Amino acid sequence: MIGDRRQTLGGSEVAAALGLSPWATPYEVWARKTGTAPPQPDTPAMELGRRLERIVLDWIGERIERVVIPGERVVDAARPWMSGSIDGWTLDRRLPIEVKTTRGFCWHGHWGPPDSDTVPLEYDLQVRWYLAITGAEEAILGALGLNERELRIYRIRRDPDLEAQLVADASAWWERHVVGGEPPPVDGSPAARAALLARHPRGGGALRRASAEEIDLVRRHVGLGRQIRAMESRRDAIASQLRAAIGDDRGIGFDGGRALWSRFERREIAWDALRAERPEIAEVVEQYRRPRPADRLDVRVDDAPEEVDRG
């Protein structure tokens, strides 16, 4: 059973739906399922991971000394709103295999030692989702660390209590937000912004009197903006100190980190000169420029308190 991905909650989405993913938010998952926001293209990291998947699967097979075959998308027969795209199986189809590619094991989440079950939470929940659907007692997660050039094998065994809680929480989210149609709280994700632009494409209404709750939102926005600017100023100062420390070197490094200073010129089109000197080329280029929805939120409070952490 394949079905429409918009009609099911996949393993890579369950942590995000429950607000436990660093990569996506509940609103983004809801927007994908309801078609409220346009789909987002794959990032370069996602494309790289997909292209490396077959290579890593073969490598995992060699490491565990088992024949590994490509996986497929599966849908739970008893709970058809649950689905999963399994990367691979052992030949006897007893061990589902999930492949991950990470910049490095020290960059994101908590990766335990090889052969343990300690992986970042969103990956742990994804694998447990697949165990719930397939009924397998154990799964393998193979993670390729690009910085370390290391493949680590993790083994995650089924935990009935944790699995039941995961499915119950996800089921409640699905019923409330997808079946029931209630949007999750609006967040700062690109999907939320795209959905708001689609719902309110033009702001031609009147300037109305704000409610007490709306005034609070405005003041919090201004206060956070001031804190961000103060923190950015501090970060810029530290960046200049690092540049001065690096000097003519390429960078500095230490166990677990590094700082590189690259010098380059960013090139951009001089539109005024192009229109003046080669108008025929400028005219052709203009034909390929397409408008896209955009917005600007102009927030100002003349008497807002200075909510800046001065440290």
| pLDDT tens digits, one per residue of 170-216 | 999 999 999 999 999 999 888 888 878 877 877 778 888 999 999 99
Confidence at 47, pLDDT banded by 50, 70, 90: confident
Co-location of 160 and 59 in the same domain: yes
Give the structural domain span for 220: 213-253
Q: Is residue 124 domain-shared with residue 188, that is, in the same domain? A: yes
In a domain, 18, yes or no: yes
Asked whether residue 128 falls in the same domain as residue 161, the answer is yes
The span from the CA of 13 to the CA of 129, in Å, is: 10
Radius of gyration, alpha carbons of the chain: 25
Same domain, residue pair 138 and 174: yes
Helices 121-134 and 160-173, axial angle in degrees (round to 10)? 100
Predicted local confidence at residue 106, as pLDDT: 77
Q: Could you tell me if 226 and 191 lie in one domain?
A: no
In a domain, 276, yes or no: no
84 domain-assigned: yes
Query: Domain check: are 158 and 221 in the same one?
Result: no
Q: Is residue 23 part of a domain?
A: yes
Q: 139 and 87, same structural domain?
A: yes
The pLDDT value recorded for residue 5 is 65
Decide which of 7 and 305 is more confident. 7
Domain co-membership, 59 together with 169? yes
Which CATH number belongs to the domain containing residue 51 in this structure? 3.90.320.10
Residue 265 lies in a domain: no
Asked if 19 and 114 sit in the same domain, the reply is: yes
Domains in the chain, number: 2
Q: In terms of Cα–Cα distance, which of 127, 182, 141 is closest to 57?
A: 141
Question: In terms of Cα–Cα distance, which of 2, 10, 1 is closest to 178?
Answer: 10
d(CA 231, CA 54): 43
138-145 vs 96-102, strand pairing mode? parallel
Statement to judge: residues 138 and 217 lie in one domain: no
Q: How wide is the angle at C-alpha 72 spanned by C-alphas 68 and 78, nearest 5°?
A: 120
In a domain, 296, yes or no: no
In a domain? residue 174 = yes
pLDDT band at 297 (very low <50, low <70, confident <90, very high): low
pLDDT tens figures, 258-271: 888 888 777 888 88
In the three-class reduction of DSSP (H, G, I as helix; E, B as strand; rest coil), residue 176 is classed as helix
* Residues 179 and 110 both lie in one domain: yes
The pair of three-digit structure tokens given for residue 100, joined into one six-digit string:
């991950």
Same domain, 150 and 225: no
Is 150 part of any domain?
yes
CA distance 61 to 4: 31
Q: Please report which confidence band the pLDDT of residue 298 belongs to, taking 50, 70 and 90 as the band edges.
A: low
Chain segment 143-161, per-residue pLDDT in tens: 999 888 899 999 999 999 9
Stretch 19-32: mean pLDDT, rounded? 92
